[in-house]
Every structure is written in structure tokens, then in C-alpha cells.
Structure 1
């Protein structure tokens, strides 16, 4: 870790040592916000950011994200969680409380294309990606030197049709060894098995080089070129058993025209891909995403 990053992280931890985040989803009904904010007030908390949304005030689902400062929250977290449980039960809440200073442990999977991984490394090195970059797993060797130059462990696990199950077992063992919180597929060109995905529900983020649901599967830029599209884009989403159909976190597009060939589309697409992936990952790391069915609520 660079000295600059160390200073950046240390400053962040010191500044936000008393900050926490509370995420809630529950059936919409009167009194939710009042109950939550009064609970925090009674424990000496000061709300610094609050976002809420309802799918329908009459029988819909209510979503709430609150950031608050509370003295000694790091040692009081379990106590506050226990005290909040009766309120959560009363409103049938699905909820979680997380510390602002908890840096999620992140694993990145990559194949041959390097642009998304490099963007993640640069953002992390600059202190802009607030995560514990724990390891990189690849089915190719060529990024080892680059990754290890950042002081990050690199694991080469080749994958073939015959060895896929064994390879995934090795990957799972590593992820559990490092106690990983989030897995980022930075153009990892292998389809994860349902058994792998089941081990990490809502913890795997993918970047798809297409503006989903268009051009699902392999060679999307070739598909787009043949179709004569005027917009190309990228989609970052959570991975589920349905290929490229998990809850979407972020998307973006760029205009193209008849003068752009397949290689032009790929070049433009790479810029969109890395931008969209980093944006989605940051929102996940900051607990700004709540999954609702096959959709997401993103409090930016």
C-alpha cells in the first residue's frame, strides 16, 4: 500500500470513527421514520444523511437508508442492534446496521482483458475505492506482475470444461480463507455455476459489456455492429443463476454511428465498462444498494 493511500485511509477512519449506516426495507405503513429517528435520537445519534423511497404508500414496500454519527458506535454496535430488534420486528423489517469504517474485503476475478482490473487498482491506490483489496483470482497468468506490484496476492486457477468444478472449489476455499465480503467479476469470462453463486448471494458484482437486456451472452459488440445500433453501453449487475439477468445496479451508454466498426465499439465500450463497474462497486461498498426482487434501489 502506498504512503498516500495509507494517509488517505487513516484520515477516513479517524474522521468517521463514530459513523454508521442503517438500511431498512419493510411493508410501507405510518410511523416507520418516526420510530427509527426517535430510536437514534434517544441513543445520542445525529443523522447526517437520510434517503427513503416507497413503491406505493398504500401497501407497497418502504426503503430507508440513514447515515448517523453516534458516540462509541464501534463498541456499542451489538448493543444498539439488540435494542433495535423490537422495532424491526414490529414493522417486519429486513435491516442491517454497518459501521462506516468497516472496509469490505474484496476479491476480483479477471481473465485476459485488463481495463476493468486496472481501473479498480488505480482507484484503490488513490484511496478512492474504500475497500480491503484482498486478492485477485484469474484463469490466466498475464496480470500477475501488475497485481503483485500493488502488494495484492494473485492466484492463477486455470479453468477447463473438465476441471471447472475443481477450480471453483479452489476459488471458494480462497474466498472463505480471506473472509471475502464482495466479489467483482472484472471481465472474468467464465460462467459461474449455480452452486458457486449460492455460496455468495448478493455479493457478486459483474460488468457486462452490453446495455442489458440487449445482446446477452458472447460477442455482444459483434451483435451490436450487425444490428447497426446507435447507442452502445455497459451494465453492472448482481450475479444470479440466470445469465446476465441479475438485479441491475448501474448502466451507461455512448452514442455511435455508421462510421464506427467493431473495434471502435470495443474501444468505446471499454471506457464505459470500467466507469460503470467502479460506480456500481462504490455504491455497494457504501451500502447504498438495496435489492428488491430482481431490481435494486440505489440511494446515490
Structure 2
């Protein structure tokens, strides 16, 4: 099901070295080509000395085509060393969801997918446990159970990569997939996989983090969604969420509240990614939130 309440736009994204005229070269071409700009965001990073821009637009002249746009804009972009991308209004990225036993993020994503809140296709769900197969079946999505052990980890990850190629996957979402990915797997998914995890201060790692947090009397729970890389839970951050709590929250209450934050934070991260609102800038991200 798709969302028909919002007009569909072409999305233009670009980045280049910082220099005078970067906004003008894009907006001037849009006007001359007859493309009406509905939304525009830009940012010039004075540290990395790079410029970033995102535009949603609608052609108001007949004869618009992606090929024509690229051919006409290329010589102007070349003067600025600009790299750009054009996304069609009807593009629905193919997303694979990896999950273990926790179902809160998977449930939320499948609901938003089914109701059109996420403009994606979900052709496959992959898990190291069989527990959530019924959810996939209810939604008519193939579910691949790939058990894992220390001995079978290389084989299991290789099988996941085969499935991603088989289903022509553009984005991988780790919806509480409770496995530490190998460096090889992280390299395979670099820049095209989003992970979600809790954010508790102080940082409580290991088993039963919410119970540890309760024992310390935490006053806030949160979640962080980030791109996967070889630094465990420390990839470039896309979105973060937070909720205040108090002494009346027992461990089970903290878990419930934390899961609520995880759901919304992961949804926003995926939405920003598929709407081309996220730019990688070294180890950081530029995020033009809506």
C-alpha cells in the first residue's frame, strides 16, 4: 500500500567542495529547466570544507526525463566537482530486515510498510531464530531461518550475503538482530545497513542493561540508529531518541519505554535514508530532517 496523500517528487542530492556559487548553480538550473522546487536544504561544513544539498522538485514543463536532466546539468556540475544523484518519484527501495527474537521493531516496520508510511518493498526477512516466522507469513514475506554458532558464523554470513544478492537488496535493517557482525560482513554492508540499539547513560553493556540501569536509578532511556561499520555500535549516527523516566519505573517498565523509543528512532532513520536525507561525511552524517 502506498501513501497517496502527499505529492510525489523527484529528489536531487549533491555534494562538492565548498566554493562560491554552489546553491546558485543548482537552483538556477532548476528554474531554467522548468522544475518547481518544493523543498530545499543545504549545508556547508566548514570543517570538512564540503557542501551538501537536497532538493525535492516537480517538473512543470513537458518532456522531462532523467537522461535529459543529467546531460544538461553535467557541464555545470563539472565546474564545481559536484557529484549528484536523481531519485525517481516512484522508486521503492528493496529492504531486507534481519531480526532475532525481539519482535517490537519488526512489528512496527511491517505495520508502517503495510500502511504506506514507509515507501519501501520488503521482499525478505532473515533471522537466526525461527520464532518470528509467523509474522513474515502473515505479511506474505519469505522468511529465511539461518541458525548461527561460532563454528558456522562464516557460512551463515555468506548465506545472508547470497540472499541479499538474490533479492536485489538496497538496504539492510538490523531490527534487533542480536549478533555481532564479523569485519568481513561489516565490509559487505558498509553504508547500506542500519542498526538500532539502546542508549543508556551511563553506558550499560552486556547482559540485562535495563536492569543495570534500574539499579543505578537512571532518569532517561534512549535509542540510537546508525550505519553499520567495523566499530561495534559506533557507526555514523542517523537518529537518536530519548524519553525521561523516574523512580516509579521498574526494569520491565524501562524495557517497555526503551522499546518504544527504539521503534520510532529506527523508523525515522530508515525514512531519512530512503528519502535521501542522509549524507555520509567521513565518520559523521549530515541529516536534513523533514
Same topology, TM > 0.5: yes
Equivalence for 1:264: 253
Displacement of 1:213: 8.8
Counterparts in 2 of 1:213 and 1:25: CA distance versus 1, 3 Å: farther
Stretch moving more, 39-48 or 133-142: 39-48
Q: Which residue of 2 aligns with 1:117?
A: 106
2:227 match: 238
Question: 2:22 maps to which residue?
Answer: 32
Equivalent runs, 1:142-157 vs 2, <5 Å:
142-157=131-146
| Greater fraction helix | 1
The offset of 1:71, in angstroms, is 6.0
How far does the alpha carbon of each residue in 1:126-182 deviate from its partner, in whole angstroms, 9 at most, with x for none?
A: 111110111100111111112111111111111111101101111101101111111
CA distance in 1, matches of 2:73, 2:19: 18
Matched residue, 1:141: 130
Aligned residue pair count: 289
- CA deviations over 1:246-284 (Å, ceiling 9, x no partner): 111111111122332322211111111111111111111
1:41 matched to 2:31: yes
Q: Aligned ranges for residues 15-164 of structure 1 at < 5 Å?
A: 15-16=7-8, 19-56=9-46, 60-70=49-59, 76-164=65-153
Deviates more, 1:39-48 or 1:144-153: 39-48
Structure 1: state its 5+ residue gaps: none
1:299 aligns with 2:288: yes
Tell me, which stretches of 5 or more residues in structure 2 are unaligned? none
Cα pair distance change 1:218/1:194, threshold 3 Å: farther
Distance 2:276 2:138 in 1: 29
Instruction: Determine the structure 1 residue equivalent to 2:168.
Output: 179
Q: State the match for 1:224 in structure 2.
A: 213
TM-score if structure 2 supplies the norm length?
0.91
Please tell me whether the aligned partners of residues 36 and 60 of structure 2 are also in contact (alpha carbons under 8 angstroms).
no
Kept after mapping to 1: 8 A contact 2:189/2:228: no
